[in-house]
C-alpha cells in the first residue's frame, strides 16, 4: 500500500486542506487511465486503477467536511446508463485504502444491480468515514455533517444521486435533502419513498423462491432457513418466509434488544433468534436448505465456506463474498447455489428510482420487479442466470456479471452521455481547486 492510501481517512482529509482546497478528483481520461487532480495524487490514481475492485470507474470525488473534518466520497462506475446512483454509507474505515476499495466495490455492484433491474441509472456510491470522536452520536453535529454531504453532492451537478445505506437513516436523508435535489429515499413527508427495507426483503424472498424453483423445488413450504441478521431487511423477511410455510427459521443478531424483541413477536412460530457476538459466524454453518446473509459483507471466504451446509445462499447483504470470483467458484464446486446479492437486493433502489415522477399506490414500476413473468423481474433474472451458469459450467457471479455488463454498455435512451459530460465539466473547471 502506498501513501496516502496508508493514512487514516481524516488524516488524508486534513492533508487535502493543507495542500489545496480540501478536495481531490480522479477522472478516467481518453487513454483509459485515471487522472488525478493534482500531481501529488498521481501515485494514488495509479493504485486505484490497479486495485482489484477497480472496474472501469469513471470518476472518484473526495472532500473534507468543513465542520467535522470527516472524509466524504462519491464513486462513479461506468456511466453509459445515466447518473451514478447508490446509497450513502457512514461507517468507520481504518485506512484510506479501505475507504476507497469499499467505494469502488459498492459502486460497481450498484452499476450491475441497476443494469440487471432495467433501471436507467449507472452505479454510484457515497461514503462518509465515521469519525472516532463521537460526531455520529451527537444529533446537532450529525445533522451538520449530513447537510455538508448534501452540499458536496450538489457540487457534483447531478452526476451522482445519493440515497440511504448502512449507517444512514431517513432523518439523515432529510438533512441531505436540505442541501441538494440529487437525493432519493427521503422521508414521505418530504415527498419521498422513505425506508425501502421491507421491499428489499420481498425481493430477497423472491430470489430464494426462484433458486428453489430452478433446482426443482416448487416452493418454500417445508424448507428451513438460516439468517444472519434480523435488522431492517431480516425482520420483515421472517414474516414473508412464515407466510410461505417454511418449517424452521434460525437467525443470529448482535443487538440483544432487537433479538429479544423479534423473538417475542414470533414466540408461537418456528423461529429461533440467537444473540451473538459480532465475530460469531456459527449461523453460517447451520444444516438448512437456505442461508441468507443479511448483515455486513465479506462473511463468506476461505475460512467459512468449507463449513457451509446450506444448499442455497441468497441474502440481502451487499458483497457477502470476500472475493467474488474465487468464492463463488468454491460454492459452485461444492454444489451450493449462490444467488449474487446485486441480483436480489435491488428493491431499495427500485423503490426510489422514480421518486421524482411521483408515487402512485400501489406503484406498478415497483411491483413489476416482483412479477414472476416480467423479463427484468427478479424471478426471471435469477432463472436466466442460473440456467446460463449451469450450461456454461461457470459460477453464478460470472454469469450475472456477463449479463449485467452487456446491459451496462447500453446508453441512456433520453440523455446518452450526459452523466459523463458532467464529470468532464467538473474536471475541466477544476472542481478540486474550487472547494468551499
10-residue mean pLDDT profile of the chain (436 residues): values are 81 94 96 95 94 93 97 98 96 96 93 94 97 90 97 98 89 94 86 79 97 94 97 93 98 94 96 94 97 91 96 94 94 97 92 83 90 94 97 97 95 97 97 88
Q: What share of the chain is helix, strand, coil (3-state, %, to 5)?
A: 45, 15, 40
Nearest to 52 by CA among 104, 1, 6, 99: 104
pLDDT at position 108, please?
93
pLDDT at position 52, please?
86
pLDDT at position 312, please?
98
Residue 173 cell numbers, joined = 436523508
Residue 315 cell numbers, joined = 441474502
Residue with cell 427500485: 350
Instruction: Provide the CATH topology of domain 9-195+421-433.
Output: Rossmann fold (3.40.50)
- Is 307 an annotated catalytic residue? no
pTM for the model:
0.90
Is residue 46 helix, strand or coil? helix
pLDDT at position 2, please?
61
pLDDT at position 1, please?
52
CA distance linking residue 306 with residue 287, whole number of Å: 13
pLDDT at position 169, please?
85
Tell me whether the omega of the peptide bond preceding residue 4 falls within 30 degrees of 0, making it cis.
yes
Is residue 127 helix, strand or coil? strand
Residue with cell 417475542: 264
Residues 6+ apart with CB under 8 A from 257: none
In angstroms, the Cα distances linking 202 to 162, 250, 377 are 23, 18, 12
Contact (CB, 8 A) for 374 and 365: no
CA dihedral 355, 161, 324, 335 (to 10 degrees): 0
Residue 142 cell numbers, joined = 450529525
Strand-pair partners of 123:
85
- The full set of domain ranges for the chain reads 9-195+421-433, 197-394
CATH topology agreement for domains 9-195+421-433 and 197-394: yes
Tell me whether the omega of the peptide bond preceding residue 225 falls within 30 degrees of 0, making it cis.
no
Homologous superfamily of 197-394: NAD(P)-binding Rossmann-like Domain (3.40.50.720)
Residue of 3, 113, 125, 307 with catalytic role: 125
Amino acid at each position: 500500500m502506498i501513501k496516502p492510501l496508508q493514512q487514516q481517512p481524516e488524516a488524508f482529509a486534513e492533508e487535502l486542506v493543507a495542500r489545496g482546497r480540501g478536495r481531490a478528483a480522479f477522472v478516467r481520461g481518453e487513454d483509459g487511465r485515471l487522472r488525478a487532480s493534482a500531481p501529488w495524487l498521481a501515485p494514488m490514481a495509479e493504485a486505484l486503477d490497479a486495485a482489484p475492485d477497480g472496474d472501469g470507474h469513471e470518476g472518484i470525488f473526495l472532500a473534507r467536511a468543513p465542520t467535522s473534518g470527516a472524509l466524504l466520497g462519491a464513486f462513479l462506475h461506468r456511466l453509459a446508463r445515466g447518473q451514478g446512483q447508490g446509497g450513502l454509507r457512514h461507517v468507520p474505515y481504518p485506512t484510506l485504502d479501505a475507504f476507497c476499495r469499499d467505494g469502488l466495490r459498492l459502486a460497481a455492484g450498484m452499476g450491475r444491480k441497476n443494469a440487471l433491474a432495467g433501471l436507467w441509472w449507472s452505479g454510484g456510491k457515497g461514503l462518509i468515514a465515521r469519525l472516532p470522536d463521537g460526531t455520529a452520536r451527537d444529533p446537532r453535529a450529525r445533522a451538520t455533517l449530513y447537510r455538508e454531504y448534501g452540499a458536496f453532492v450538489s457540487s457534483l451537478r447531478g452526476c451522482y444521486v445519493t440515497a440511504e445505506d448502512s449507517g444512514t437513516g431517513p432523518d439523515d436523508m432529510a438533512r441531505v435533502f436540505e442541501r441538494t435535489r440529487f437525493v432519493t429515499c427521503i422521508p414521505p413527508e418530504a415527498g419521498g419513498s422513505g425506508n425501502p427495507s421491507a421491499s428489499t426483503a420481498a425481493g430477497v424472498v423472491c430470489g430464494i423462491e426462484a433458486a428453489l424453483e430452478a433446482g426443482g423445488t416448487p416452493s418454500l413450504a417445508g424448507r428451513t432457513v438460516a439468517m444472519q441478521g434480523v435488522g431492517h431487511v431480516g425482520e420483515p423477511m421472517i414474516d414473508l418466509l412464515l407466510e410461505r410455510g417454511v418449517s424452521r427459521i434460525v437467525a443470529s443478531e448482535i443487538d440483544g434488544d432487537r433479538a429479544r424483541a423479534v423473538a417475542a413477536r414470533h414466540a408461537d412460530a418456528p423461529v429461533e433468534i440467537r444473540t451473538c457476538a459480532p465475530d460469531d459466524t456459527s449461523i453460517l454453518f447451520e444444516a438448512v436448505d437456505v442461508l441468507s446473509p443479511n448483515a455486513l459483507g465479506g462473511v463468506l471466504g476461505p475460512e467459512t465456506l468449507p463449513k457451509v451446509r446450506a444448499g442455497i445462499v441468497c441474502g440481502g447483504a451487499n458483497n457477502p463474498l470476500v472475493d467474488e470470483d474465487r468464492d463463488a467458484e468454491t460454492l459452485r464446486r461444492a454444489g451450493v447455489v449462490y444467488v449474487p446479492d446485486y441480483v436480489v437486493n435491488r428493491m431499495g433502489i427500485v423503490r426510489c428510482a422514480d421518486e421524482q415522477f411521483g408515487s402512485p399506490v400501489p406503484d406498478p414500476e415497483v411491483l413489476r420487479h416482483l412479477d414472476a413473468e416480467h423479463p427484468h423481474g427478479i424471478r426471471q433474472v435469477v432463472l436466466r442466470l442460473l440456467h446460463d451458469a449451469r450450461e456454461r459450467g461457470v459460477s453464478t457471479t460470472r454469469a450475472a456479471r456477463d449479463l449485467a455488463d452487456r446491459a451496462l454498455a447500453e446508453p441512456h435512451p433520453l440523455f446518452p452521455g450526459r452523466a459523463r459530460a458532467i464529470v468532464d465539466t467538473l474536471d475541466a473547471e477544476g472542481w478540486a481547486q474550487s472547494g468551499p
